[in-house]
């Protein structure tokens, strides 16, 4: 049976709250004292917004390449917020020591099949079945839950936090890859998540067989995905031969998000054009979140399907292939997702 306990959640209608979470997501990329580190406290005249001071923090994951970020504590120690770093890469910024692993996990989480876009690409896992648009679905599932992948590392960080702060409210936030990991973590442990400019995470959530409680509206799952219409990664259009992502070796093929989408229509409102530079978290904070009077409305994105032209069959062994060839020329199994 499903249990639905009452929990404290961010006030997503409150602009200072959204700015605070976005700034935490920005700070997840750097260490305190760095020129890009920003104070996370914004003025707030709304006494019901739960937007306090969060200037006490400590880093997680900085001792080696992998999942990184910071943990922010409210002044009254009642709320703990985990902010996860997104992709560090030359296509987005100057890159860092985490770039190779960031790229591997991007291509694993947000591509249809291991980042295998064409024969010119080197896949990040061995799940492609050798013919056009066929992939071993169970193989991808195994790859996603490997201990050296970012999803498992994120779960380990959360478990440590929950052990240290057993009675506090724990929220999670992040930008880009960090935002998608935040959404996956939130769905795994039923905690609130607010993401910024995250790639589509729905395909990965289904491949991981994460819970989608029956009869529960997306708005009651406490996953809010903020983004704007001029970001090709958030909109799921950073793909194709000439795209910035493809030129950088990133197979960003997903567009579907879980939870609610909170979208700023900067293309219509500001006349912006879709551009990779609009994905940067500082651009999002300074020119979108700060500029609008109120946060974007969060709505159910509706039906959405990624990789519709792919078949995710179970890979046959040589023995079963020989046996089945006696009675049938093809064997097709249903997708595990």
The confidence score (pLDDT) of residue 48 equals 47
Residues of the chain below pLDDT 70 = 1-3, 42-52, 55, 89-95, 218-219, 315-337
Q: Which two tokens stand for residue 73?
A: 């504590």
Name the residue among 289, 295, 293, 276 with its Cα closest to residue 23. 289
Q: At what angle do helices 177-189 and 150-164 cross, to 10 degrees?
A: 60
User: What pLDDT was estimated at residue 219?
Assistant: 67
Task: Quote the tokens at residue 139.
Answer: 């193989």
274: which 2 tokens?
A: 């879709």
According to DSSP, the β-strands at 79-84 and 69-73 are: antiparallel
| Predicted pLDDT at 47 | 43
- Check if the beta carbon of residue 257 is closer than 8 Å to that of residue 300: no
Distance of alpha carbon 331 from alpha carbon 294, whole angstroms: 54
The whole-angstrom distance between residue 24's C-alpha and the CA centroid of its chain comes to 15
Domains along the chain with CATH numbers: 15-325 (3.40.50)
Tell the burial category of 14 from Cβ atoms under 10 Å away from its Cβ (0-12, 13-18, 19+): buried
Residues 74, 88, 176, 258: which is the catalytic one?
176
Task: Round to whole Å and give the CA distance between 70 and 68.
Answer: 7
pTM: 0.89
Q: Is 118 a catalytic residue?
A: no
C-beta of residue 230 within 8 angstroms of C-beta of residue 272: yes
pLDDT of residue 45: 43
Q: What is the pLDDT of residue 42?
A: 62
């Amino acid at each position: 049976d499903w249990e639905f306990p009452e929990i404290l959640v961010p006030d997503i209608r409150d602009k200072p709250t959204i700015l605070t979470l976005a700034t935490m997501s920005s700070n997840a990329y750097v260490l305190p004292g760095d020129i890009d580190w920003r104070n996370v406290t914004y003025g707030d005249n709304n006494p019901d917004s739960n937007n306090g001071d969060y200037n006490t923090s400590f880093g997680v994951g900085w001792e080696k390449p992998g999942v990184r970020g910071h943990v922010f504590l409210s002044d009254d120690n009642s709320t703990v917020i985990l902010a996860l770093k997104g992709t560090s890469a030359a296509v987005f910024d100057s890159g860092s020591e985490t770039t190779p692993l960031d790229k591997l996990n991007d291509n694993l989480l947000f591509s249809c099949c291991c980042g295998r876009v064409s024969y010119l690409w080197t896949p990040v896992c061995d799940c492609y079945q050798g013919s056009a648009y066929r992939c071993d679905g169970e193989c991808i599932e195994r790859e996603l839950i490997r201990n050296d992948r970012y999803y498992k590392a994120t779960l380990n960080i959360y478990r440590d936090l929950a052990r240290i702060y057993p009675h506090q409210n724990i929220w999670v936030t992040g930008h880009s890859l960090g935002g998608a990991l935040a959404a996956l973590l939130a769905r795994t442990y039923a905690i609130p998540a607010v993401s910024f400019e995250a790639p589509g995470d729905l395909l990965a959530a289904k491949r991981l067989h994460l819970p989608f409680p029956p009869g529960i509206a997306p708005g009651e799952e406490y996953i809010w995905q903020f983004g704007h219409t001029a970001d090709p990664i958030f909109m799921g259009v950073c793909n194709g031969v000439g795209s910035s992502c493809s030129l950088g070796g990133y197979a960003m093929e997903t567009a579907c998000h879980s939870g609610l989408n909170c979208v700023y229509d900067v293309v219509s409102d500001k006349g912006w054009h879709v551009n990779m530079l609009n994905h940067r978290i500082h651009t999002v904070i300074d020119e979108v979140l700060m500029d609008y009077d109120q946060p974007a409305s969060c709505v159910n994105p509706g039906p959405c399907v990624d990789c519709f032209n792919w078949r995710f069959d179970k890979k046959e062994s040589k023995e079963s292939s020989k046996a089945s060839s006696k009675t049938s020329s093809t064997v097709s199994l249903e997708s595990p997702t």
